[in-house]
Amino acid sequence: MSAPIISLEGLTSTTSFDQLLATAKSGGCASSTCGLSGKPDDIDPAVWEKIKDHPCFSEEAHHYFARMHVAVAPACNVQCNYCNRKYDCANESRPGVVSEKLTPDQALRKVIAVANEVPQLSVLGIAGPGDACYDWKRTKATFERVAREIPDIKLCISTNGLALPDHAAELADMNVDHVTITINMVDPEVGVKIYPWIFYDHRRYIGIEAARILHERQMLGLEMLTARGILTKINSVMIPGVNDEHLLEVNRWVKERGAFVHNVMPLISEPAHGTHFGLTGQRGPNAMEMKALQDRLEGGANLMRHCRQCRADAVGLLGEDRGQEFTLDSIPGEVTYDPSRREAYQEVVAHERRDHLAARSEAIGMVKAAGSGKSLLVAVATRGGGRVNEHFGHAKEFQVYEASPRGISFVGHRKAEQYCRGGRGENATLDGVIAALEGIDIVLCAKIGDCPKDQLAEAGIRAADAYGHDYIETAISAIYAAEFGVQPLAATA
């Protein structure tokens, strides 16, 4: 099969700092503006320290760092209409789906095996397939074992919030400083359409009472985490006709209670998944509807737009899943943690991202100053490192940026089927890719053939490979300048 998508390609096979740095820069623009803080201008330094290596809490970090989930918590205390507890599929990428459930000891072995092989690894999460706070014994046992072996790995959990108040203090004690709460409503009348039942205080509740209890516990849990300085991400599933408008209200509530970031995700709903919503024909939103809602939420809590709705056993950068490489039977019975590759990688990233941030802020400044009043939607093929470094035909997703008088901002990603396999392009697949790129003005990639380029052009989408290996924002600012006839960026980045 094709080579795995790896951030800063080649960094996983070499270990010396000099080698790594040379690999990261090869073929790319080599700005050298060291001495900057390495921190985006608009973030509090203490918060930046917490999120700078967390791919889910920081859009900037997601270019460099990888997460892994261990599926140790299969038990759940809430039934959601978008979840089917019997679901298990190797090819589906969505929350709750796993191929194998692990005991805490098996999870420790897997985390060590991945840490030895994937130098980008920075975060260990427990995100189901059940609820990490409800299945607390397994969650806690896993974190205790892993923290003993790999003290610098960040620990985080995902929860529906019902049992969260019971464990907020322990989470703080265990240095779990990132928690995701799925909050889909703040009005129990909306909640009854999403949650058929909850299990709380030794009994099953249904209807409005269930939704009211869940809502109260979610708000209490969020407040308790905020009081303890734990960063929270609020996940909301956007369900058209059920809670799409209501999410504006949810955003206000969670912001007031100190939520750090709000992540609105599209409902995934197909009949084949066997969920209640899948079977009743409830549709999910399309990409442009998602973007429209997210745009309306700007100015509220910080928005996360780079979520990939990953599996409960995902491994790797957010845009990839290497989980299938690390099944239990592929891991030796005895594994010993070797920190050398992670340490070398962290060192080179610290260096590389200073350059990237400088180039980024320069590019954004240029677009803001251009005064053109126009905006561009740009899709980028990248394999990590914040650069335009993936071939069009090899991309499994495109990262979408908007360049406008407000600067350059990441607005989301579009999944696409890989168009080129084994050196040949499939026309039927290309049609799907073009459909996935609806509304995009320009595609940036490391390389593209004439044939797909022409077909994209027919669909009104231009493609450019002249900026291969440049930083994404640098490339976009150059495109913006060329497009609207403004002064291009000086050649420092």
The residue type at 368: K
CB-count exposure of residue 457 (10 Å: 0-12, 13-18, 19+): exposed
> What secondary structure does DSSP assign to 73-103, as a single string?
B---SEE-TT--TT---SS--STT--S----
- Between residues 135 and 244, which has the closer beta carbon with respect to other proteins? 135
Q: Is 79 near other proteins (CB under 8 A)?
A: yes
Q: Residue from 137, 283, 296, 447 that binds other proteins (CB under 8 A)?
A: 137
- Between residues 72 and 370, which has the closer beta carbon with respect to other proteins? 72
Q: Is 415 near other proteins (CB under 8 A)?
A: no
Select the span of 131-139, 150-158, 165-173, 238-246 touching other proteins (CB under 8 A): 131-139
- Between residues 203 and 424, which has the closer beta carbon with respect to other proteins? 203
- Between residues 11 and 107, which has the closer beta carbon with respect to other proteins? 107
Minimum gap (Å) between residue 202 Cβ and other proteins: 5
- Between residues 11 and 73, which has the closer beta carbon with respect to other proteins? 73
| CA contacts within 13 A on the Cβ side of 95 | 27
CA 386-390-448 angle, to 5 degrees, is: 135
Q: Residue from 53, 59, 135, 177 that binds other proteins (CB under 8 A)?
A: 135
Q: Is 134 near other proteins (CB under 8 A)?
A: yes
Minimum gap (Å) between residue 137 Cβ and other proteins: 7
Task: In whole angstroms, give the CA distance from residue 135 to residue 363.
Answer: 46
**Residues 184-243 interacting with other proteins (rule: CB under 8 A):** 199, 202-204
User: Which two structure tokens, joined as six digits, stand for 2?
Assistant: 């094709």
Minimum gap (Å) between residue 195 Cβ and other proteins: 13
- Between residues 79 and 294, which has the closer beta carbon with respect to other proteins? 79
Select the span of 73-81, 167-175, 186-194, 342-350 touching other proteins (CB under 8 A): 73-81
Query: Could you tell me how many residues of this chain bind other proteins (CB under 8 A)?
Result: 17
Residue labelled with tokens 């909301």: 236
Q: Residue from 54, 62, 101, 360 that binds other proteins (CB under 8 A)?
A: 101
Q: Is 86 near other proteins (CB under 8 A)?
A: yes
Task: In whole angstroms, give the CA distance from residue 127 to residue 101.
Answer: 12
Select the span of 35-43, 79-87, 325-333, 476-484 touching other proteins (CB under 8 A): 79-87
- Between residues 76 and 113, which has the closer beta carbon with respect to other proteins? 76
Minimum gap (Å) between residue 138 Cβ and other proteins: 8
- Between residues 262 and 273, which has the closer beta carbon with respect to other proteins? 273
Render the burial of 376-410: b for 16+ CB within 10 Å, e for the rest.
bbbbbbbbbbbbbbbbbbbbbbbbbbbbbeebbbb
Task: Name residues whose C-beta falls within 8 Å of residue 103's C-beta, 6 or more positions apart in sequence.
Answer: 72, 138
By C-alpha distance, which of 125, 122, 179, 189 is closest to 153?
A: 122
User: Which two structure tokens, joined as six digits, stand for 371?
Assistant: 């005064």
Task: In whole angstroms, give the CA distance from residue 37 to residue 55.
Answer: 19
Q: Residue from 77, 232, 275, 294 that binds other proteins (CB under 8 A)?
A: 77
9: which DSSP letter?
Answer: T
Select the span of 4-12, 134-142, 147-155, 265-273 touching other proteins (CB under 8 A): 134-142
Asked whether the CA dihedral 210, 211, 212, 218 is positive or negative, the reply is: positive
User: Which two structure tokens, joined as six digits, stand for 321?
Assistant: 């899943």
Cβ atoms of 391 and 449 within 8 Å: the answer is no
Select the span of 5-13, 77-85, 256-264, 292-300 touching other proteins (CB under 8 A): 77-85
Q: Is 74 near other proteins (CB under 8 A)?
A: yes
Q: Is 82 near other proteins (CB under 8 A)?
A: no
Could you list the residues that contact other proteins (CB under 8 A)? Answer: 74-77, 79, 85-86, 101, 129-130, 134-135, 137, 199, 202-204
